[in-house]
Amino acid sequence: MKYVLDVQYNGNEDALVACIGFNNWDDAEPSYIKTHFIEKIEPYVAGSFYKRELPCLLEALKELDDIECVVVDGYVWLGEVGHDGLGMHLFNALNKKVPIIGVAKTVFAGTPRSCEVLRGESVKPLYVTSVNIELEEAKRLVLFMHGKYRFPTLLKEVDTLCRGK
């Protein structure tokens, strides 16, 4: 099964992580939904965001044994390949076995244009990065995800879910 994850923070106190599972890249409905409330999160430190978010993602995935791929809201690598983003830290924490696709809504300085994906009729791109799956394949899969707008349906749903709505 494939999973999309997102985290919402309540200041520097706690967080809610949402995990949605799906079987096919064009699924409109999830086949798995779970949220986890995480207490005592790490405070935000510029340049070390992963130290805050990675434990939340790992908590959401810890009981799952059928992980084919994980899609995170963010970057696998920052700028040019070689600067680890949240997705790369997750990949390493999962023993470098699970493909990770990062889908970001905003550009990170130095992100190559080759990471841009235009979905639907949007003129504003998403920024796709990946590890253990070729970038072109990751971009194709993000394009194939359900939804006629810029942000795929299940990514929008996991964003809403982690906000407790």
CATH number assigned to the domain comprising residue 106: 3.30.2170.10
Domain count, the chain: 1
Provide the 3-class DSSP secondary structure of residue 102: strand
Report pTM. 0.95
CA dihedral 106, 108, 110, 114 (to 10 degrees): -40
Provide the 3-class DSSP secondary structure of residue 47: coil
Paired tokens of 115: 């990471």
Provide the 3-class DSSP secondary structure of residue 39: strand
What residues make up the domain containing 123? 2-162
For each of the chain's 165 residues, which pLDDT tens digit applies?
A: 999 999 999 877 899 999 999 999 999 999 999 999 998 888 777 667 778 899 999 999 998 989 999 999 999 998 876 789 999 999 999 999 999 999 999 999 899 999 999 998 899 999 999 999 999 999 999 999 999 999 999 999 999 999 986
CB crowding 68-81: b at 16 or more within 10 Å, else e: ebbbbbbbbbbeee
**Contacts (Cβ under 8 Å, ≥6 apart) of 48:** none
